[in-house]
Chains A and B, each alone.
Chain A
Amino acid sequence: MSWLEKHPAVHRVLLILYYFAIIVALILMYGRGDFSTQPFVYQGF
Chain B
Amino acid sequence: MARVHANKEMPHLFAGLIALGVAGTILFAAGMAVIHLERSTIPSTAPDLFLLKNQGVAFQRAAAHAPNVLPIYGSSELLVPAAPERGNIFFRTAPTGFQLSPVGGGGTTPLIMSQKVAALSSDLRGKELAISLSPGWFFAAKPGWRGYTGNFSLMAASEMAFGTALDFELKRDIASRMLECPSTLEKSPLLEFALRRLASGRLVDRTIFCVLWPLGKAQTALLELQDHRAALNHIRREIKPAPQRHPEVLDWPKLIARVEATKTTDWAKVSKASGLNVQITPGSRDVAFRNGVKASASWADLELLLRTLERVHARPLILSMPIAGDFYDHAGVSRSAREEYYTKLRALVQRYHFAVVEFEEHDEDPAFLIRHQSHLTAKGWAYYDRALDDFFHGRMPRS
Asked if residues B229 and A35 are in contact (CB atoms below 8 Å), the reply is: no
* Contacts A40-B146, A42-B105 given; does A16 touch B19 at CB 8 Å: yes
Chain B residues 189-231 with CB under 8 Å of chain A are 222-223, 225-227, 229-230
CA distance A12 to B17 in the complex (A): 12
Which residues on B sit within 8 Å (CB–CB) of A42? 76, 105-107, 147, 150
Q: Which of B12, B15, B27, B105 has the most CB of A within 10 A?
A: B15
CA distance A36 to B289 in the complex (A): 36
Give the residue name and chain of the B residue nearest to A18 (CB).
B15
Knowing A20-B23, A37-B151, the reply to whether A15 touches B11 (Cβ < 8 A) is: yes
A residues 9-45 touching B (CB-CB < 8 Å): 11-12, 15-20, 22-24, 27, 30-40, 42, 44-45
Q: Does B184 contact A (CB under 8 A)?
A: yes
* 8 A Cβ contacts from B1-56 to A: 7, 11-12, 14-16, 18-20, 22-23, 27, 51-52, 55-56
A14 to B240 alpha-carbon distance, docked (Å)? 43
Q: Report whether A35 and B20 are in contact in the complex, using a CB–CB cutoff of 8 Å.
A: no
Complex Cα distance A40/B22, Å?
42
- Mind listing 28 A-B residue pairs with CB under 8 Å? A12-B7, A15-B11, A16-B22, A17-B19, A19-B15, A19-B16, A20-B22, A22-B19, A23-B20, A27-B23, A27-B27, A32-B226, A32-B229, A33-B155, A33-B223, A33-B226, A33-B227, A33-B229, A35-B56, A35-B155, A36-B51, A37-B51, A38-B150, A38-B184, A40-B150, A42-B105, A45-B80, A45-B106
Interface, chain A (partner B; CB < 8 A): 11-12, 15-20, 22-24, 27, 30-40, 42, 44-45
> A35-B55, A40-B107 provided; 12 other pairs, C-beta below 8 A?
A12-B11, A12-B15, A15-B12, A19-B16, A19-B19, A33-B227, A37-B55, A37-B151, A37-B152, A42-B76, A42-B147, A44-B375
